[in-house]
């Protein structure tokens, strides 16, 4: 079928990249945005534009907030089919309370899990979630979409396709095939070092596009390989190969029970009521022990397990901002007395490797330069895929025009949809976020749901426009949708910055100079930079459209 191994690799690289590139483009782009998901949340929810806060007092602030929590009616309705009998009016048996924060979070995320009476599975839990202001415990409205952490981040790894975790499987398969495409690309391009320095924008368009594709692929090759691999590893045991929860379920349960005996942390409730000692004193003791070992004493994760039971215990985890890990160094206390039960020992070599790979992928550590390099790597990956699409179309457009094949036209329209259409959808979400009132009519969908619907509607309109305007591609000319959507991106990015100013009063002079607040200023500056780049791209595309029209008129004159 192929005359050489390199030709086989070229075929593999081309078609894997073409078929799965649309998914990978979204994964790269929204992954890049997710690096600053907390900062985007601050832009989207003006009530949270405060300085990052430490874990607050449990006794003064967290306990009342936890006691107010209950599952939402939506969560209760979703649980109802998994319960034999009626659902209770109030959930009283608390399985766990937990609070999580990072060095970039001005707000505090609370989680509460409750046992469900008469559940078909005794391990079944129903969950409640809340976001509070850690300064005073004020409950923040959850109907406002956390655009960064609540939408862009899940879109990056799961495409928001939650049914049977379909999106996670699609992205995982695409990442696996991306590894194959990277290897095949290396085999195709044997002179990688030369291509690291090769970009000839003055050459023919096809040559320039290929140079840029090779350059963006080679420059960030380690980044692309590492993040595809670690993304697969993070989800491997949870979704792709959950042996502990499926084939080895019995062994998994016995392991948890054995671990509970070794650590002294009860695996189940004793069903004997017991009080709760002062949790703030437990936190202070944990910080004292960390300080003795020369470690930062910031609390990132606080968990109360088996609340109100004699087997209850409190776990205090150190924040992972000073190392490449999410959380760690847990110290566990008996809930009823406050006595230390167990202090996590140093991680094993295997656990340290897993912790390092997971932490490096999810980057919760405090290193702003590396964070920006992550963004650059993600956008470089998106540029590599986009130039691959363009090269595919440009290389085949002439041949397809002669034979009447519509393949180039379809691929070009899909490329427009994926590249500029994705930007239009993102900007639609930001603009809608600033235009929608805080309270919507009761008959409408929730504010967050409506924002998501309009995001997809914006993307669908961009796709329709790309296909409607793609007819010139079948005649060996450029698709005007590229130019028109670049102009739209530029206008929408400027509109988002202006709407943030009008609706909140947080203009750049304020957020940069008079009252510096870099999460919001950074998003506005990024939007302005995007508008500038889109304007330059639109100018170049307009010049190309003019050249195509001139060539067409010249050909008509000769005819």
Distance of CA 167 to the CA centre of its chain: 13
User: Do 203 and 184 contact (CB within 8 A), yes or no?
Assistant: no
DSSP string, 82-114: GBSSPPPSS---EEEEEEE--TT-SSEEEEEEE
Is the pLDDT assigned to residue 126 strictly greater than 90? yes
For the ranges 186-200, 334-348, 386-400, which has the lowest average pLDDT?
A: 186-200
The tokens describing 23, both together, are 């998914």
Element (H, E) at 10: helix 5-34
What is the Cα–Cα distance from 388 to 178, expressed in whole angstroms? 13
What residues does 482 pair with on adjacent strands? none
Is the predicted pLDDT of residue 112 greater than 70, yes or no? Answer: yes
Q: Which of 306, 372, 356 is nearest to 336 (CA)?
A: 306
pLDDT in tens, 419-454: 999 999 999 999 999 999 877 777 787 889 999 999
For position 494, what pLDDT does the model report? 98
Confidence class of residue 284 from pLDDT cuts 50, 70 and 90?
very high
Residue 122 confidence (pLDDT) above 90: no
Which is nearest to 457 in space by CA: 411, 426, 500? 426
Q: Find the DSSP H helices in 293-327.
A: none
Residue 353: predicted pLDDT: 85
pLDDT band at 218 (very low <50, low <70, confident <90, very high): confident
Give me the long-range contacts of 85-88 (CB less than 8 A, separation at least 24). 85/117, 85/118, 87/116, 88/117
pLDDT at 244 over 60: no
pLDDT at 442: 72
pLDDT of the residue at 319: 87
> Residue 226: what pLDDT?
92
Mean pLDDT of the chain: 88
**What is the structure's pLDDT at 548?**
67
Domain spans, the chain? 51-144+257-362
- Name which of 480, 489, 469 is nearest 428 in CA terms: 489
Grade residue 194 by pLDDT with cuts at 50, 70 and 90: low
Query: pLDDT value at position 142?
Result: 77
What tokens were used for 272?
């004997």
Per-residue pLDDT, 250: 60
Query: Which pLDDT score, from 0 to 100, does residue 207 have?
Result: 67
- 318: enclosing H helix or E strand: strand 313-319
């Amino acid at each position: 079928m192929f005359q050489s191994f390199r030709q086989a690799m070229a075929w593999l690289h081309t078609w894997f990249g073409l078929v799965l590139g649309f998914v990978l483009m979204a994964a790269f782009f929204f992954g890049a945005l997710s690096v600053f998901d907390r900062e985007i949340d601050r832009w989207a929810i003006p009530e949270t534009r405060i300085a990052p806060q430490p874990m607050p007092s449990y006794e003064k602030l967290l306990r009342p907030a936890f006691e107010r929590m209950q599952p939402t009616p939506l969560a209760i309705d979703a649980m109802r089919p998994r319960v034999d009998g009626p659902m209770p009016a109030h959930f009283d048996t608390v399985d766990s309370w937990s609070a999580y924060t990072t060095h970039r979070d001005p707000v505090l995320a609370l989680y509460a899990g409750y046992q469900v009476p008469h559940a078909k599975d005794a391990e079944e839990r129903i969950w409640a979630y809340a976001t509070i202001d850690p300064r005073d415990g004020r409950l923040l409205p959850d109907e406002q979409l956390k655009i960064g952490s609540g939408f862009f981040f899940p879109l990056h790894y799961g495409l928001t396709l939650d049914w049977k975790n379909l999106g996670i499987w699609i992205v995982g398969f695409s990442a696996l095939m991306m590894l194959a495409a990277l290897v095949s690309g290396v085999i195709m391009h044997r002179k990688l070092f030369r291509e690291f320095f090769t970009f000839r924008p003055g050459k023919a368009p096809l040559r320039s596009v290929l140079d840029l594709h090779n350059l963006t692929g080679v420059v960030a090759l380690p980044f692309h390989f590492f993040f595809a691999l670690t993304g697969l590893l993070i989800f491997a045991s949870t979704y792709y190969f959950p042996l502990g929860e499926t084939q080895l379920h019995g062994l998994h349960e016995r392991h948890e029970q054995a671990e509970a005996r070794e650590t002294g942390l009860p695996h189940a409730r004793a069903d004997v009521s017991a009080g709760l000692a002062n949790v703030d004193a437990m936190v202070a003791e944990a910080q004292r022990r960390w300080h003795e070992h020369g470690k930062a004493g910031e609390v990132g994760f606080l968990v109360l397990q088996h609340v109100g039971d004699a087997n209850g215990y409190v776990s205090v985890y150190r924040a992972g901002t000073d190392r490449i890990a999410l959380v760690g160094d847990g110290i566990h206390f008996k809930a009823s007395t406050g006595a230390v039960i167990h202090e996590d020992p140093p991680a094993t070599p295997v656990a340290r490797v897993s912790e390092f790979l997971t932490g490096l992928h999810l980057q919760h550590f405090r290193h702003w330069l590396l964070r920006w390099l992550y963004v650059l790597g993600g956008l470089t990956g998106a540029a590599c895929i986009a130039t691959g699409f363009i090269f595919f179309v440009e290389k085949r457009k002439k041949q397809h025009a002669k034979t009447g094949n519509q393949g180039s036209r379809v691929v070009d329209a899909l490329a427009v949809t994926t590249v500029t259409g994705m930007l239009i959808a993102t900007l639609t979400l930001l603009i809608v976020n600033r235009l929608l009132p805080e309270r919507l009519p009761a008959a409408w969908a929730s504010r967050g749901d409506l924002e998501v619907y309009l995001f997809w509607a914006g993307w669908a309109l961009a796709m329709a426009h790309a296909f409607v305007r793609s007819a010139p591609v079948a005649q060996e000319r450029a698709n005007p949708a590229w130019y028109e959507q670049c102009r739209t991106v530029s206008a929408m990015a400027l509109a988002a910055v202006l709407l943030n100013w009008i609706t909140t009063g947080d203009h750049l002079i304020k957020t940069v100079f008079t009252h510096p607040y870099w999460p919001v200023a950074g998003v506005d500056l990024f939007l302005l930079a995007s508008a500038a780049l889109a304007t330059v791209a639109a100018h170049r595309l307009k010049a190309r459209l003019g050249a195509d029209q001139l060539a067409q008129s010249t050909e008509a004159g000769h005819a």
